[in-house]
Amino acid sequence: MTIDVPQHILDALTDVDMPRLSPEAMSSEIVRLAGTDVPVYRAGCVIVGSGAAGLRAAVELKRRGDDVAIVSQSAWGGTSACSGSDKQTLHTANTADQGDNYKAMARAIRAGGAMDEDTAYVEAVGSPRMMASLQFLGLRLPQEPLGGTLRYQTDHDEVGRATSCGPRTSRLMVKVLAEEAIRLGIPFYNHATVVKILKEEQGAAGRVCGVLVMKAGHRAEKNLLGLTLFVCNVLVLAAGGPGELYRDSVYPNGCFGSLGLALESGIELVNLTESQFGIGTRREGFPWNLSGTYMQAIPHIFSLDAEGNEHHFLAEYYRTTQELASNVFRKGYQWPFHSTRMLDFGSSLVDLAIYRETIAGRQVFMDFNRNPLPVPGDLPFSLARLDYDASQYLGNAGAIQEMPIDRLRHMNPLSIELYRRYKIDIAEQPLEFAVNNQHMNGGIMVDTWGRSNLAGCYAIGEAAGTHGVTRPGGAALNAGQVFGTRVAEHISASQEARTRPGADIRIAAEQGMAEISALLRSDSELTVKAVRSEVQARMSDKAGLICDPGNVTDALQEARLLNKRIGEHGITYDRAAEATRAVQWYQMAIASEAVLAALDFFIANGGGSRGARAICDRNGDSLPLSKSGPLEELRFRKEREEHRREQIVVRMSTEGFDIHTRRNRTFDESAKCFFERDWPAWLTGRIYDLETR
C-alpha cells in the first residue's frame, strides 16, 4: 500500500520560500583610496557567506551582544540553500537502538582517517544541542508518536543516525536561521563579493583588519568596480566549498568558496586531497544528488551512444542480475564513490561503470518505469532475488511494488515532486545523470574553536577542513552548526567583536587595491572564460575519481604555468560584473594548483587509494574485477595505514606552495571530567584558550 501524502504537504516541503532581506543601511563614510572613492563599513565581526553555518555564527554572536555583519555574494544562493538529495540528511547523535554515545559517534565521524580526534568528539557532543536549537527555531524534524526522532542509515553510518525533513532539509535550516537573523536585526550586505583579506602586522602571519569587497550597488563613475571596504576585528569565512573547481559538478552555479582567497592571505589549508564524488544530475540543468531512495527504488540504468543505441552497460560489470540490482540499491546509502567498493563487485563499480560510459561519450540515464534488465544468461529481476540487506530494507519500508516508480512514490513522494518543479517528470521519462564532484572534505585548517593560523580569522562549514577522508552522510551540516556556535562562543569570550573598530586601515586597503589592479588588465589575452575552461577541464579529467600519477604531475605543471601567466599578464574582462569573476577565477586557479600540489605530494610519498580517489598503479595490489574479467588498467594502490594518522598541510608562499604533514590531534577517551575540579575553567573562560593559537 502506498502512503498518500496530501499535495499541500509535498508543496510545503518542496517549495521553500526564503525571507525578504531588510533594506541595507548605506555607508556614511567614504575614503579616498588610490584615486577611488570607496564606501567604508565597520563591524566587530564580518561573516563571509549566508549559508547555514554562517547564519548560525551570526545568530549566536548577536545573541551574545556582539557586533556582527554578513557579507554575501548571493543570499540564499549557496550550497546549503540550493543543494540536496532525495531526503537530505542531517546527522544526529543518537544511534538506532541505544542512547547517546558521543565517543562511538566520534569514532564513526573520524573512521576514514586524516581527521583530528578532538574535532570529531566536538562534532559528536555538539550534535543534540544543534538539533534542539534548530527545532526551537522552527525546523520540524520528523518524530515517532512518543517524541523520538525518526532515523535511517546513510553512507559511512552503520547504525542509523540520519534524519531528514525531506529533500530541502538544508534549505529549511537556512530559512529558520535567516528568519532569526533578520529578527535580531543583523545587517546583510548582499551581492557583495569579498576579493581580498586585509592584514596588519602582528606575529608571523599578521592579523585580520578588514576585507575588500566588490559590491554591485556601489559601482559608480568614480568607483567602476564597486570597491567597498569593511573594517573589522574578526573575520569568519563561511562561504562554502570550491564548487566551480570541477566541470563535472553537482554544486549550484557560482559557488567559488574562499580557499583561494585564504591561500592568498597566507592561511594554511589541510586535506585538499580529500573530496567526494557521486552520482547526480548535471549542473547545466538541475544539480541534485541521486542518493537514498532514488537508488533504493532500483531503477533501470542504461546509456545511449551518439546513434541513439541503448546499452545495458552494468551487465558488463556484474555477474548476476541479483548482484547488479543489489548494488544499485546500495548506492542509496553508499552514495559517495570509494575506491575499495570497486573491489569484490561492490557498489562503487556502479560509479566506475557510469564514469567510463561518460568518458566514452555516452549519455547515462536511469528509468523508473523499468526494473533492471537481466544480466545476459541469468534470471530476470525479482524483488525475491536480492541480497539480504536490500531485501530486508525494502520489506521493512513496505516498498514491494512491482515498478521502481511505485516503490519510489511509496518511500519518498517528495523525490518525484522535486524534479517536477524543474520540468523533469521522472514518472514519465528517464533521468540523465553522471558522476560529479560534490563536496570538498578539506579546507582551512582550524583548531577546536575554529581558529585559523591567521589571527582574528575563523573558518566554518565547508570552508573549514574539519573532515577527514570520509564522513557519515549529513555530518557536514552538523559540523557547520556545531562550529558556527563554537566560533561565536570563542569570539564572544575574546570580546574582540564587542564594538566596531575605529582603525584607519587605508595602507592595507591600498595595497589590496593595487594587487587587484595588477590582476585586472585590459591588454591581457587571458579571459575569464579561458581560465574557467582550463581549470575545470584539468581538474575533472586529471584529478577526479580515477587518478593516474603521471597525469596528476602533468596537471600540476600546467596549473603552475597558468598561474605564472596570470601573474605576468593578468586577466581581462568586458564589464564591471565580469571583473568580480576575473578575481574569483584567479583565486580558483590558485586553489586548483594547491589541490594538485597536495595530491602530487601525497602520491609521490606513496599515497594510495582512499575516499574519493583511486590512484592507479600498474604495480598496485588492488584489482577491480568485472563480469568479463580483471580491469587491469584500473589496478590501484592500497591506502597506507600511516597516512590515516596524518594530514597534508598546504600554505602559499612567494616561491609556490609549502607542503608538509602533521599528525592528527588525539582525544583521550579514558579521560573523565569532574565537576568541582573543572567548573572554574568554565567560569573564568580558561576553556577558550585565548592566549595561544
Instruction: Please provide the average confidence, as pLDDT, over all residues in the chain.
Output: 92
How far, in Å, are 277, 364, 418, 615, 625 from residue 435 at the CA level?
Answer: 7, 10, 20, 17, 20
Stated as kind and residue range, the H or E segment containing 62 is helix 52-63
Answer yes or no: is pLDDT of 99 > 60: no
356 in any annotated domain: yes
pLDDT band (50, 70, 90) for residue 7: confident
3-state secondary structure of 100: coil
Q: Please name the residue that has the C-alpha cell 577542513.
A: 465
Average pLDDT over residues 553-567: 98
The cell numbers describing 377, all together, are 544468461
Q: Which residue has the higher pLDDT, 155 or 267?
A: 267
| Same domain, residue pair 416 and 560 | no
3-state secondary structure of 568: helix
Answer yes or no: is pLDDT of 96 > 70: no
The model's pTM: 0.94
Residues 6+ apart with CB under 8 A from 354: 279, 301, 364, 433, 434, 435
| Same domain, residue pair 425 and 298 | yes
Burial of 559 from C-beta contacts in 10 A (0-12 / 13-18 / 19+): buried
Contact call for residues 361 and 311 (beta carbons, < 8 A): no
| Same domain, residue pair 638 and 543 | yes
Instruction: Provide the 8-state DSSP code for 474.
Output: T
471 in any annotated domain: no
Torsion angles phi and psi, residue 601, rounded to 5:
-60, -45
452 in any annotated domain: no
221 in any annotated domain: no
| Same domain, residue pair 427 and 541 | no
pLDDT above 90 as % of the chain:
75
- Where residue 609 sits, what CATH number does that domain have? 1.20.58.100
pLDDT band (50, 70, 90) for residue 1: very low
Average pLDDT over residues 409-413: 91
The cell numbers describing 451, all together, are 581558529
Listed residue (594, 579, 629) closest to 245, CA to CA: 594
| Same domain, residue pair 285 and 410 | yes
| Same domain, residue pair 559 and 428 | no
Distance separating alpha carbons of residues 394 and 400, to the nearest angstrom: 6
570 in any annotated domain: yes
4 in any annotated domain: no
**Structural domains counted in the chain:** 2
| Same domain, residue pair 309 and 418 | yes
| Same domain, residue pair 396 and 532 | no
Answer yes or no: is pLDDT of 2 > 80: no
pLDDT for the residue 579: 95
612 in any annotated domain: yes
Distance separating alpha carbons of residues 410 and 534, to the nearest angstrom: 44
Cβ neighbours around 230 below 10 Å, total: 26
3-state secondary structure of 85: coil
The cell numbers describing 388, all together, are 539480504
Q: Which residue has the higher pLDDT, 444 or 74?
A: 444
325 in any annotated domain: yes
| Same domain, residue pair 533 and 403 | no
Distance separating alpha carbons of residues 684 and 626, to the nearest angstrom: 62
Distance separating alpha carbons of residues 601 and 648, to the nearest angstrom: 9
- The residue range of the domain holding 422 is 281-438
Lowest mean pLDDT among 98-112, 385-399, 473-487: 98-112
Answer yes or no: is pLDDT of 693 > 80: no
Beta bridge partners of 211: 197, 230
Answer yes or no: is pLDDT of 119 > 60: yes
pLDDT above 70 as % of the chain:
97
pLDDT band (50, 70, 90) for residue 114: very high
| Same domain, residue pair 434 and 538 | no
| Same domain, residue pair 561 and 433 | no
- CA 579, 581, 585, 586 dihedral sign is positive
644, 660, 688: which is the final residue of a domain?
A: 644
Answer yes or no: is pLDDT of 312 > 90: yes
Distance separating alpha carbons of residues 464 and 471, to the nearest angstrom: 14
Summarize pLDDT for 357-384 with one digit per residue, the tens. 999 999 999 999 999 999 999 999 999 9
How far, in Å, are 67, 328, 416 from residue 407 at the CA level?
Answer: 51, 14, 11
409, 438, 467: which is the final residue of a domain?
A: 438
pLDDT for the residue 98: 52
| Same domain, residue pair 305 and 421 | yes
Summarize pLDDT for 181-217 with one digit per residue, the tens. 999 999 999 999 999 999 998 877 789 999 999 999 9
392, 411, 438: which is the final residue of a domain?
A: 438
- Going by DSSP bridges, is the β-strand pair 90-91/68-71 parallel, antiparallel, or unpaired? unpaired
Stated as kind and residue range, the H or E segment containing 125 is helix 117-137
Listed residue (274, 570, 193) closest to 439, CA to CA: 274
Average pLDDT over residues 526-532: 96
Burial of 418 from C-beta contacts in 10 A (0-12 / 13-18 / 19+): buried
Q: Which residue has the higher pLDDT, 492 or 3?
A: 492
Answer yes or no: is pLDDT of 500 > 50: yes
Contact call for residues 21 and 182 (beta carbons, < 8 A): yes
